[in-house]
Structures are given as structure tokens and as C-alpha cells.
Structure 1
């Protein structure tokens, strides 16, 4: 039986504390490049990518029964393992490697610039220390995704701006090395692949599709999205769930508290907005002094996409009957005839 991500991360933490020890087959400090194999005292093997003695990520984990967890498995099922990097002390003590400062770079397709050809091992550098700088976010939760689709990389910081002079969980850089490209669904939580399916569908909506979604929404679905927000906020803040705000249709929470699907809600709504503008132009909207909003079937379709993202992207927050309500319009979308 394959271990879960939590079980693999627990072993990595045991390596950090010394409860699980590693024996290496060759000294990484004597290798310019090449994977290093470690045999762990719990019977596992761990293969680590090595760049001139620097820890460049876990490539593969072997289990006592002969099963292998490779990078493709990490990408699909264990993003925490895929992005694991030990701190300086652990890297040297446990792996005899140097730690590197790493983080994430996301760019939308229209903003790739020189990163369009970025691949493992390439270095991207600014010609000077003047802006615009290369922004490396320290965690996936910190990555801002204003537009989708795009590309996501794990990158090593080579040259950082000093002093940083900012607040926020990111590093301003003038030079980075690409460690590897990562699936963009990492940005939308454990069920990110399904969230991306919704984004692709929403971006291709036509008027008939919008009308079909609108006609099949469950009357309780909008209220369930509000419940999703309240339950999520209670979970991450550890406070009692006392709803005091109508959160129906909300795509971003107050205090920059991201949803369980990252920016997936705002992107889904934005995809419907773009489709409505492309197809019906100004007729798809109404405006007052300080707000422009979708109307008619486009408004309902936008709500249906939010309900779908909640149901597919955060299933742990809802019971089965609630998920069925959230996903009713999705199950009746064009080209899909399942009940």
C-alpha cells in the first residue's frame, strides 16, 4: 500500500530530527551534478537531485516492497514532497549538501517574456539591480495568480536585492536558476486538477452554455458557497464558526485570506466575465456609479462556476448532499449528460 503524503512528510521530518538516519552511497560534495542515493534506517531509499553539492529537490523515494514514488507521483499526489527543501542545518547534517534558497515564480501566458524558454537548469538574470525585479514567492499559498493559464517554476535564488525593503513572503531577485517546472494545478489546492478543468470550461463558455448552467443551478447552492467560506475561515483561524456576513458570490475574503483553492474562485468568475464580454459585449453587464456587474444568464453562469469550484476543489467542507447541490449545474453542463 502506497504511503500518503502526510506519511512521507512525517519520514522527512524524522530525518530532520535524526530519528531516521541516512547513509549516502557517494559524497555529494565530490559530484558536480547527478542524483545522490541515500539509504534510510527505516528501509526506504531517497534519491536527491544534486547541483554541485546543493540540495536540488527529491527525485524519487523507494519503499521496502520495491514500490517507487517518482516525481510524476509527487506532482500528482504529493506537492508537499515535490516542493520539499530542508533548511541549512538539516541539509548539511542529514544529506551532506548545501541548502539553497528556493521559491516559486508564476507568470501568465501573456507575461512570460524571457521566461518563455525557461527550463531546468537555465539561469534568468536582470541586466542591473533596477526594477522590474524577479519575484520569488516563498510558498505556493503566497503566489498571486491574476490571470490563467500560465506557467509555474520552482526556482533557486542566485542573487537577491539587498536590502529587500518590503513586507510580504517573497524575495526580490536579480538572478534565479530554474530548478524545475511544476504543474500549475498546485496553485489551487489538493484538487487543483479539477479546478483547472473548470477554468478551461468557463473560458470557453458561449451564450447557450451560460443559459444551460443558469437553468440547472440548485436554489441552495449560493448559500452553500457562503457556508464554505465560513467553514474554511473557522478551520484556518481556529475560531468558532459564527457567520456574521453574507459571503454568497464572494471570490476573495477579507484580510487577504485566500480560499482553499487559492485564486481559483476569482479566476473562474473572471473567465466567465471575459467570455461574456467577448460574446455579448456591454449587453452582458449593468453599471452604476462605482460597479460593473454581470447580468442575465452570464451572472447565473458565473455563480454556477463558483459553486462548481467549491464542490470540486474543497470537497472536505461539504457533505455528499451539499456537494450534489453545488455541482448540479456542472453535471448538466453542455457535453456532459450525467445526472
Structure 2
């Protein structure tokens, strides 16, 4: 197996391209059993295909925990299969940032924390702790959340936005609870200061609230439309979690005493129990 080739925007037909695949433990799909040095291939030309994202910033973590692989896309040898995957990739818009594949060579397994930036290990710790939230701990997080945390979180977002190519529509607006701002970034780069870390925190808080809240999630049906939202105190617990992830994962965006404001609830309800 050769080393990774440069990523190709035109997909498998133009030759191998390199990318990244995140594999959730609970749903590994075609990547079940993947490890460095092995080839993973679809048994037939039917979807679901293997999705290789061309940059770490383009990956979204919706399920946790999981594994992260650097892969090299292998074009099918069979002409009919190759035509099939070419058609599948032709459906993608140029800015999609990923390639559909029927076969990949797994080049290496990377620390999953690489998805969340240079301080990704701290963000991963927040994601994991949020995954295990109980009603009692959610209440403790909610009650210990600093009244200035939302403002400090928004200020950190604004500092990040100021360095993005399209900050105008978002800069200076409230960002409390925001997990990603795709419109501000360059295509293929991360939509937040910690990649998809905030999104993963949100997802874990949502699942914890659903499974362990009393209740954690409210469901409202009006005119045939269903809306779901966090019940107190889970909303504030989620906010405390993403605010801690900001302080731990993007310390360069936090100024003065903001770190203590952002982590006050986390330190009281989570760190102090370890």
C-alpha cells in the first residue's frame, strides 16, 4: 500500500485521493473492523458508500465515541462499478468537501481528539463527561453556571469570527448556545473554534437528557409540526458544557477572567467530583 496521495476534488475517477473517515463505535457501517494497513471495500456497488472527507475541519461528529482514520480512496477496477461511483460523486456540489467511495485503504488511525484542534483532548473529555450526564449533575451544572458565561462565550466566538473570511453577518451578535457557524468559514475548514466539538457536546447532552432526564426533552406538536427542546435544567447544563469546551479547547480566544466564568459550572459540578 502506498502513502496518501494529495486530495482530489474530482473524486475516484481521477485516481486515489486522501481523506478522513470518522467511525462511530455504535454504527461502524462499512468500516467495521477497519485498521491501519487494511483495505475496506463494499461487497457490491450499492450504497451506503464510504464517505471520505477531504479535511479534518469538514468532519462532523454526531455520534460518540468513535475512531478516526486517514484513508486513501481506491477507484473500482470494474468499469460498471467505477461508472456507478462516478455518478454518485457527480451529484455532489463542488463545495461538498467529501468523496463517496466503494473502497479505501486505511493509511493510519489518528487520535480522535485531532478533530477538535490542538487542545482536542480537553474537548474530548467534555464530550465524554456530557455523554454521562445524570439529572442530578445536570441540575448542579445549571445552578452553578455563571451569569456572565453566555456573554463570555459570545466574545470568544467573535474573536474567532474576526479571523474568518465572511464574519460580517455574524460578528457582534449573541452566540449563546451556538455550536457552529458554517457561513463564516472557508470551504473545507472548521465551522467552530474546536471543529465539530460543540456539535458533539450538544448531541451528547441531547441523548443524556432523553435517556436520563425527568423529563429532559419537551415535545410540542402544533399544526402538525413537532418541535423538541431542552427542558430546564438541561438547557443550562448544555450551555455550561459548551462554554467549558470553549475555554478548554480554544484558550487563545479567552481573555482576562473569562476562563473562570466559562468553566465555573464545570469546575463545580464535574471537575470537583473527580
TM-score interval for Structure 1 and Structure 2 normalised by the shorter chain: 0.7 to 0.9
The answer as to 2:50 corresponding to 1:134 is yes
Q: Structure 2 unaligned runs (5+)?
A: 9-14, 77-84, 186-190
Most deviating of 174-183 and 229-238: 229-238
The answer as to 2:252 corresponding to 1:316 is yes
Q: State the TM-score, normalized to the length of structure 2.
A: 0.81
CA-CA distance at 1:244 after TM superposition = 4.6
1:299 alignment partner, one of 235, 256, 274: 235
1:270 counterpart residue number? 203
Q: Deviations over 1:81-112 (max 9, x none)?
A: xxxx6689xxxxxxxxxx96311111211211
Once the two structures are superposed, the pairs formed by residues 249-260 of structure 1 within 5 Å of their partners are: 249-255=177-183, 257=185, 258-260=191-193
CA-CA distance at 1:238 after TM superposition = 6.8
Cα gap change, 1:318 to 1:193, in 2 (>3 Å)? same
Q: State the TM-score, normalized to the length of structure 1.
A: 0.66
Cα gap change, 1:137 to 1:110, in 2 (>3 Å)? same
Q: Structure 1 unaligned runs (5+)?
A: 1-50, 57-84, 89-98
Greater Rg by CA: 1
1:124 alignment partner, one of 21, 34, 40: 40
Measure, in 1, the Cα distance between the counterparts of 2:7 and 2:243. Answer: 40
Q: Deviations over 1:87-143 (max 9, x none)?
A: 89xxxxxxxxxx963111112112113423111211111233332211111110111
Measure, in 1, the Cα distance between the counterparts of 2:209 and 2:103. Answer: 40
1:215 alignment partner, one of 143, 164, 170: 143
Measure, in 2, the Cα distance between the counterparts of 1:277 and 1:301. Answer: 14
1:148 counterpart residue number? 64
Measure, in 2, the Cα distance between the counterparts of 1:116 and 1:192. Answer: 24
Cα gap change, 1:113 to 1:326, in 2 (>3 Å)? same
Measure, in 2, the Cα distance between the counterparts of 1:285 and 1:274. Answer: 9
1:68 counterpart residue number? none
Whether the aligned pair in 2 keeps the contact of 1:103 and 1:137 (CA below 8 Å) is yes
Larger relative strand fraction:
1
| RMSD, aligned α-carbons | 2.6
Structure with greater contact order relative to length (CA < 8 Å, sep ≥ 6): 2
Once the two structures are superposed, the pairs formed by residues 1-339 of structure 1 within 5 Å of their partners are: 51=1, 54-56=2-4, 101-159=17-75, 161-163=85-87, 164-165=89-90, 166-167=92-93, 168-237=96-165, 243-255=171-183, 257=185, 258-280=191-213, 283-288=215-220, 289=222, 290-334=226-270, 336=272
Matched residue of 1:106: which SS?
A: strand
CA-CA distance at 1:230 after TM superposition = 2.0
Matched residue of 1:332: which SS?
A: helix
Residues matched between the structures, number: 247
Measure, in 2, the Cα distance between the counterparts of 1:201 and 1:87. Answer: 35
Measure, in 1, the Cα distance between the counterparts of 2:170 and 2:39. Answer: 49
Most deviating of 159-168 and 220-229: 159-168
CA-CA distance at 1:337 after TM superposition = 6.3
Measure, in 2, the Cα distance between the counterparts of 1:307 and 1:105. Answer: 27
Measure, in 1, the Cα distance between the counterparts of 2:25 and 2:196. Answer: 16
Matched residue of 2:130: which SS?
A: helix
CA-CA distance at 1:251 after TM superposition = 1.7
Measure, in 1, the Cα distance between the counterparts of 2:43 and 2:166. Answer: 46
Whether the aligned pair in 2 keeps the contact of 1:231 and 1:241 (CA below 8 Å) is no
